[in-house]
Structure 1
């Protein structure tokens, strides 16, 4: 199976690197600067689960794509999706499967509109990783999973083939017959985590130590839960209880990757993670007090970033 990994940053570099390490036919779609860096220094992964050094991994630039791939894994940031769709179009053939592991849900509508729903699986990943200044992928804990599935829950022939290809490659690969529900379960929690930690500019433990912090976190979570439920994807009680516990845990160092991006002055996925949740809640005429506050806060930050006026 020919696999195209879009991007060789923290997420794409990690999962693509593991696949390449275990003998899979992987090519990375990258920009010219990253291609030069990988050609000169190779792809390096530093992880408690095992380090990897891959000299000169296969790369391709967007203008060099010509032949279709069997599987395209989209690991880009949500704000780059429109450009990425244009970039990968020459690599999408009649039998190509696209596996997006972006946060949120809006990517499914965008990809369906561009390539047709028959090409697009549901998917998500769980990993905490970063790309350092030397281009090394640094895996920050032991979590490294990709969950994927047909959106209708079927166990298709292509799902069986993709499962075989992703399994046994140094990370957790899990097929799901309820992938859309799982994507919503992740999203309603992530929107709450990103929203509250960015709003408060602190970790969950720091927020939990304040008199009103836990209540604010739970109020935001409840708005996201109600939106998921009204959309037909109510989280189960076990998922909900775990989310409540994680968002109010004393002493927790947990914070969203969006907060790290925000602190570093990088673009953030605010519209995709928080803004889309707010838009869906608004269309459904649901309560949006906390979502509205968080969205306004992130929009002010982004306006300042673009204007170059961040403190």
Structure 2
């Protein structure tokens, strides 16, 4: 199976690296200094389970170099979804499976606006990882887990085959019987984790250790849960406790990618995260003052 990693950042670089390490036919798509470093020195993945180097690594910088892809892991930042999908549409075919592992809940729908000649499915990645230097990915936390699913057919056989292939690389992956539920479960966590770490300019451990910021964090989670319920998402009765356990189990030094982008003055995903929640809340007449504050404050930094 010919697999392409479109977006060789924290998520794509880590999971793509594991797939390549297991001997799969993996080609990374990267640009600029990142491409040059991978081409010359390989892809170095630093992680909690042991560092490894993929060298030589198959890497390209132009989408036109993609040939007959069987599987594409779509892992670019969400603000790049539209331009990347538009470029990619001429390089895929009806047999190509595209799985999006991005923050947010509607990325597969967004990709389908521009790519109608491939099979596009949503996925969820639980990972705290980032590109720390050209050619270097560092994973410091998270469950290192993937979930994929078909919104209309939970028993999709092609996705089950993908699950088995990825499992053979030692990756924890499951096929979901309700992918909308799983997308939202992560989304309810990530708007709080990303939003609060970014606005407080602090890792998750400091936020949860302080009684005031922990209380605000909890309110942020509860606002997201209220919006999910209003949108008829299948929300478990214990979802708040589950999200807080995930939060407290996260490595205390962990920073969200949103915070890292803010710290480095880069474009960020606030629109996809708290901005999207605020828009959903307005559509459903739900008050979300914490998320509105986070959204407004981070948006002004651009």
Q: Which is further off, 229-238 or 21-30?
A: 229-238
Which residues of structure 2 form unaligned runs of 5+?
none
CA contact (8 A) 2:64 2:91 kept: no
Q: Give matches, 1:78-89, under 5 Å.
A: 78-89=78-89
CA contact (8 A) 1:65 1:88 kept: no
What SS class does the counterpart of residue 154 from structure 1 fall into?
coil
> Shift of residue 16 of structure 1?
0.9
The structure that has the greater radius of gyration is: 1
What SS class does the counterpart of residue 301 from structure 1 fall into?
coil
> Shift of residue 141 of structure 1?
3.5
CA contact (8 A) 1:11 1:127 kept: yes
Q: Which is further off, 110-119 or 172-181?
A: 110-119
Q: Which is further off, 89-98 or 230-239?
A: 230-239
Equivalent residues, number: 301
What SS class does the counterpart of residue 261 from structure 1 fall into?
helix
Which residues of structure 1 form unaligned runs of 5+?
303-311
Question: In the alignment, what sits opposite 2:257?
Answer: 257
CA contact (8 A) 2:96 2:118 kept: no
Question: 1: CA distance between counterparts of 2:300 and 2:3?
Answer: 39
What SS class does the counterpart of residue 124 from structure 1 fall into?
strand
Q: TM-score scaled to structure 2, two decimals? A: 0.91
Question: In the alignment, what sits opposite 1:2?
Answer: 2
CA contact (8 A) 1:121 1:150 kept: yes
1:39 aligns with 2:66: no
> Shift of residue 301 of structure 1?
1.5
> Shift of residue 40 of structure 1?
0.9
> Shift of residue 248 of structure 1?
7.4
Question: In the alignment, what sits opposite 2:240?
Answer: 240
Measured against aligned partners, the alpha-carbon deviations of 1:16-70 in whole angstroms (never above 9, x if no partner) come to: 1111111111111221433321121011122232332222211223253353311
Question: In the alignment, what sits opposite 2:105?
Answer: 105
Question: 2: CA distance between counterparts of 1:82 and 1:231?
Answer: 25
CA contact (8 A) 2:181 2:233 kept: yes
Question: In the alignment, what sits opposite 1:308?
Answer: none
Question: In the alignment, what sits opposite 2:56?
Answer: 56
